[in-house]
Amino acid sequence: MKKFSSIFLLLLCLSMAGMTQSETQTYDKIGSQSDLIFSGTVIRRNCFLRSDSMLVTETVFNDIGIVKSVNPSRSVNDPEIRIIHAGGTLNCKIIMTPDIPDLVVGKRYFVFVKDDGTFHPNPFPGGCKAVVGISTDSLTLGESLSPVSSCRPVALTP
């Protein structure tokens, strides 16, 4: 696990400086409701049925940089972080949970999440605002942040 760079923290602060006061308050609230805040790259996503027959999606991150961890024994010491949420696609069945970010394998994100050891159908406090994409400029190798553009707005059941 690599240490979270001070350059990324500076980038985050500068990005948030351009936000309005209400947006800043929103991220302050999301941060206070989060047990774990980190940056990481999505390496895989799996959909499966839990023992109670609920369809869930597991998203696995690596290349982790921890910013905040209320429960350090849960995820901080692991080389990968697994986040499980309700919904997904399995055997032609689709169950979508509202306000869950649609994370893409291979992309890097800055993530606010509930990581208290219990299952949360939507573990992202603030929904899609709890995940921010990280892009790297190929020329300067500088990083920039942008909101996740794909979010599930409605709940559908087959």
Residues belonging to the chain: 158
What integer pLDDT is reported at residue 114 of this predicted model?
A: 93
pTM of the model: 0.77
**5 CB contacts (<8 Å, ≥6 apart)?**
65
Statement: 6-147 belongs to CATH 3.30.70: no
Strands 108-113 and 143-147: unpaired
Domain limits of the chain?
6-147
pLDDT digits (tens, 9 = 90+) for 98-140: 889 989 999 999 999 998 889 999 999 989 889 999 887 777 7
DSSP state of 151: B
Instruction: Flag the least confident range among 15-24, 38-47, 52-61, 99-108.
Output: 15-24
The per-residue pLDDT for range 16-28, each reduced to its tens digit, is: 555 555 666 678 8
Strand order in the sheet with 143-147: 81-86, 55-69, 36-49, 108-113, 131-136, 143-147
What is the rounded CA–CA span in Å between residue 24 and residue 150?
21
